[in-house]
Amino acid sequence: MPSPRSALPTLCAVTGALALTAAVTGCGAPNPSAGGGKGGTLVVAGYGGSFETAFRDSVLPAFEKSCGCKVTYIPGSSTDTVAKLKAQRASPQIDVALVDDGPQAQAQEAGLFSSIDTKVVPVDDVVKIARMENDSGVGFGLTATGIAYNPEWFEDHGIPKPTTWEDLANPKLRDKVVLPSITNTYGVGLLVGASKANGGSEKDVGPGLTAVKRIAKNAATFDTTADVSNYFLQGQAAASVWGVSRTSTLAEQDFPIEFVYPKDGAIGLVTTANVVKKAPHEELAQKFVAHLLEPSVQRALAKATYDGSVVQGVREDPALKDKVVGTDRVDSLLKLDWKTINKNRSDWTDKWNKQVESK
């Protein structure tokens, strides 16, 4: 399932931005038994693209210096990482898995993660939406699914700024809305968001399917990649269901695009860090997860990836005010019930294909 983070923002002076991580709190003296001494290697599986660049260039070296260890980073999508964990279940080779909250719920239900050590990882400092069930992992970044639109195109065609999911059904948008497929996380967010806006929920997506069918009349296409940049750049899209971090990335290219948090509920998406069950270096893995919650790391990653901080009290960069999910938005985000979603995903896909994409 394509992830909102399968391709992340291009980095502008990332090394400088992430140099802040050099000030992180140390992990204590190297512990050979935890893989922290000479020759110890922590294996982290996470996102590729610029996220990987950020980690390799600044986040990982700072941690290695602090703990006297080495870190091997394995890039891949969330679903790829979970597939690796399942294949290695009998003999894990990965210590820490960085995955989106949907795949995290699947992996947690499959028993692939150890609980977070709350004596090491300050989970009580993170916002509610970033707390995973039974502390099976913890969020370290936050973004949102909402509406991305071209304000210049809307103004030229006399269309008001969209404020709700239903606004995408405006007949004046015929063939100018690129909708996500149900196969990616944005599609799930649209279905659940439309359901809740119309009296439904993850346990009753009927109202959402009805609402999405109305919006689908305006669909130019249904995107499966989770990256609709080219549709906007080529003029095929005037609006889409997209993430704030991706919208901010496209805006960096001086393209006229803005992100809207629908007043009937934007969807919160969480980047999670998880310690693999029977990890070769579990103690060091717990320290690495704690490292990701350091305020300096949180601020640096927000600047590099446009993922908002999940740690309460972290001072936000004023320059990122409209580019990341700020603390003033956190409580209004809808948290997806991934356990229910994953259980019903196949049925939803079948209904979506028959009722929505076969318009």
pLDDT score for 12: 38
**What confidence tens digit (pLDDT) does each residue in 98-129 have?**
999 999 999 999 999 999 999 999 999 999 99
Q: What is the pLDDT of residue 1?
A: 62
Query: Same domain for 136 and 170?
Result: no
Residue with the two structure tokens 């196949």? 346
**Global pTM value:** 0.86
292 found inside a domain:
yes
CATH number of the domain residue 137 falls in: 3.40.190.10
Report yes or no on 350 lying in a domain.
yes
Q: What confidence score (pLDDT) does residue 359 get?
A: 60
pLDDT reported for residue 300: 87
Q: Are 53 and 90 members of one domain?
A: yes
Same domain, 207 and 346: yes
Q: What is the pLDDT of residue 6?
A: 56
Whether 314 and 227 share a structural domain: no
pLDDT, greater one: 50 or 346: 346
Q: Are residues 176 and 97 in the same domain?
A: no
Give a yes or no: residue 234 inside a domain: yes
Tell me, letter by letter, the H, E, C secondary structure of 36-62.
Answer: CCCCCEEEEEECCHHHHHHHHHHHHHH
The reply to whether 228 and 351 lie within a common domain is yes
Q: Does some domain include residue 280?
A: yes
pLDDT confidence of residue 47: 92
Q: What's the number of CA atoms in the CB half-sphere (13 Å) around residue 161?
A: 10
Give pLDDT, residue 34.
41
Range of the domain at 350: 144-267+335-355
Residues 78 and 223 in one domain: no
Structurally, the chain folds into a number of domains equal to 2
66 and 121 co-located in one domain: yes
Q: Residue 291's pLDDT is what?
A: 96
Tokens for 349? 């896909």
Question: What is the pLDDT of the chain when averaged over all its residues?
Answer: 89
The Cα 54–Cα 307 span in angstroms is 13
Return the percentage of the chain with pLDDT > 70, whole number. Answer: 89
Is 2 among the domain residues? Answer: no
Residue 24 has pLDDT above 80, yes or no: no
pLDDT higher than 50, residue 234: yes
Q: Are residues 40 and 139 in the same domain?
A: yes
Which residue is it, tokens 């997860």? 289
Q: Give pLDDT tens digits for 33-88.
A: 344 344 479 999 999 887 898 788 778 888 999 999 999 999 999 999 999 999 99
CB atoms within 10 A of CB 331: 10
pLDDT (mean) for 163-178: 98
Q: Could you report the per-residue pLDDT of 137-151, keeping only the tens digit for each? A: 999 999 999 999 999
Residue 286 has pLDDT above 90, yes or no: yes
Domain match, 134 and 189 both? no
Domain identity same for 248 and 195: yes
Task: Say whether both 151 and 299 belong to one domain.
Answer: no
Q: Does residue 121 form part of some domain?
A: yes
**Residue 186 resides in a domain:** yes
- Residue 17 domain-assigned (yes or no): no
Calculate mean pLDDT across residues 299-324.
91
pLDDT tens digits along 88-99: 999 999 999 999
Q: What is the pLDDT of residue 51?
A: 83
What are the φ and ψ backbone dihedral angles of 357, each rounded to 5 degrees?
A: -80, -10
| DSSP-H helix ranges across the chain | 14-18, 49-54, 60-67, 78-87, 101-109, 151-156, 185-197, 206-216, 229-233, 244-251, 282-292, 295-305, 327-330, 338-355
Cα distances (Å, whole numbers) of residue 329 to 142, 225, 260: 11, 27, 12
Burial of 320 per CB tally in 10 Å (0-12, 13-18, 19+)? middle
